[in-house]
Every structure is written in C-alpha cells, then in structure tokens.
Structure 1
Amino acid sequence: MARKNDNKTLAENRKARHDYFVEEAMEAGIALVGTEVKSIRAGKVNLKDSYAEVRNGEVFIRNMHISPYEQGNIFNVEPLRERKLLLHKEEIKRLLGLVQQAGLTLVPLSLYLKSGRVKVNLGVCKGKKNYDKRDTMLEKAHKRDIERQMKERMKY
C-alpha cells in the first residue's frame, strides 16, 4: 500500500510568527517514543514557548509540551522532556553559525506528518520589538479591510 506524500499539520506555533521575524525555515525530523507520536496525532501538543538549541553538535527542542497518552500506562514519558532533532551535520553547523549571530534563535514553527513521520518546521528567527509587532498588526488589519472592500465590490 503506497503512502500519500501530502503534509498534514498537527500543531502550529502562531505566537512565533507574532514575536519573531522568520529569516529562514527548514524541515527536521524529531526523535519520539511511540506514545508521544500517538498523543501528537491526537492533537495534544503545545509549541507555544518552545525553542531549539545547538549543544555538542546536536540540536534539541525544549519546552515542547506533549501531553501523556491516555492509554500509554508505563510507556508514557515526561511531557516537557528535551527531544532531539534529526538533521545532517552540515545543517547543524550552518544553524550553529546562524545562532551565534546576535539576536537569532531557533523556534519550531509547526509540527506535521510527512509520509507517516512527524516532522518539525524549524525557523531561524530574529526577535521583534514592540513597535514591529504593532506594525504587523496594522498591516494585517489593512489587508483585512482591503479584502473586505474587494469582496463587496465583487458583489456588484
């Protein structure tokens, strides 16, 4: 039986797009245990305050909360444990170089399924100031108003 190659988004970090400018995004695998995968597929994951860090030539994701699986009994693990991201050595070196620049950090943007495997969309991000956040909200409001006016004009 052939697997579909479509991506199904399981969780999204909306706060990351609000708090950071996303300079670049890349796909990474994530090392999970079976009950964590079942819990993620059930939608019981929170990326809100999570971030990634490079340590000893490896990338780890921290503060990603995966709720314990209800039928998991002894196989459940700690919800906030560190999880290793699976990347090539060259990618890790490049990320390390980017993170060492001032103000850049690694933030998970979304979790999704690809060919039956859980993947992380990892963003290299730069923090926004408060005035940047206000500008973004104004742009969004203007875009929404323009769309609304265009929709009204299309009725006639």
Structure 2
Amino acid sequence: MAELKESKSKSGLISHGIASQNRKARFDYAIKETVEAGLVLKGAEVKSLRHGRATLTEAWAGERDGELWLFNAYIPEYQGGVLSRFEPRAPRKLLLKHKQINQLAAAVARNGITLVPLQIHFNDRGRAKVLLGLGEGRQKADKRHAVAARDWQRDKARLMRNKG
C-alpha cells in the first residue's frame, strides 16, 4: 500500500490521508498481514474524523452476526453542529466482502490471533477506511528485543551519517 501522508487544508481538516493512527499496536502485536476495510459512519462522525481527533489505542475489531465491527474506537462528538449527537465509543460496521470476512474470522478463531485496527485514513475519493492488522500478541521478552533492534538501527544510522 502506498504511504499515506497527513494533508490538512487551510481550515485544519484532513481531506485525504491519515485521520488516526494506533502506533502502539505494532509494538504490542507482531502484525502478519494487513487488510483495508470500509467504515460505516454518520455525517457528524466523518466531520469529527476530518479534524483528526479520533483515538484507536483501545480499539479492536471482531465478528458479530457474520459481520465485522470496530469496537471501542473513540470518535469525539463534532462541536460544529446541533444535530451531531452520537455515541463516541459506539460499535461501527466494517465493510468487507463475505470471503474476506470468512477468512479473517477463521484466522481469529485460531489461537493467539487478533484483529487490530492500525489506522483510519481517507482515500483519494474521500472515503474513510480502516487498516486492520492480523497480529499475534508479543511477550515481554519480544518487546524488549524489538526495542533493542530499533535502538541498534538508530545508532547504526547515526554512525554511518557521522562517518561519511
């Protein structure tokens, strides 16, 4: 997938690009595969997302009645309108084909696999999309190894930059 960059207009709204990102997910989970899904939102939720105030740190995706849902994603109420009352942590339906839903549900049914929302972004057509990752939870030792590898890469780059 092409790298998305956050682009804001003069009014501070995100026209296309990343609206919210779960940075901690790649640290807590070993992401094996990613899937992009559509997101069913109300008008005020879209406006609030365009302001970039959503939070995915406690969010997760799961199956309910044969459909995939995004649970516990925080999208604050839009302050610009009167008719913008919605539940900030309401479950939101994810749009995928039935074949993809069945594959993801089978993967989640296996031991230790979790569907983690990595980011919410707007595509070129202005549609809200969720990037889901199929991940296995990391143990504390694995997290330490990831931190050590990241630090070594940073030090290595610093040494190469200073040498020449």
TM-score range, shorter chain: over 0.9
Between the aligned partners of 1:75 and 1:31, the Cα distance in structure 2 is 16
Match of 2:22 in 1: 13
* Alignment partner of 1:22 is 2:27: no
- The Cα shift of 1:76 comes to 2.2
One of 117, 134, 145 as aligned partner of 2:144:
134
TM-score, with normalisation over the residues of structure 2? Answer: 0.88
* Identity score, percent: 39
One of 116, 127, 130 as aligned partner of 1:120:
130
Match of 1:34 in 2: 43
CA RMSD of aligned residues (A): 1.4
Q: Between Structure 1 and Structure 2, which shows a larger proportion of helix residues?
A: 1
Match of 2:8 in 1: none
> What secondary structure does 2:83 align onto?
helix
Unaligned runs of 5+ in 2: 6-15
> What secondary structure does 1:77 align onto?
coil
Q: Tell me which stretches of 4 or more aligned residues in structure 1 moved more than 4 Å.
A: none
Instruction: Count residues in correspondence.
Output: 150
Between the aligned partners of 1:76 and 1:141, the Cα distance in structure 2 is 45
Between the aligned partners of 2:101 and 2:36, the Cα distance in structure 1 is 12
Q: Is the 8 A contact 1:20 1:126 kept in 2?
A: yes
Unaligned runs of 5+ in 1: 1-5
TM-score, with normalisation over the residues of structure 1? Answer: 0.93
Q: Is the 8 A contact 2:37 2:129 kept in 1?
A: yes
> What secondary structure does 1:107 align onto?
strand
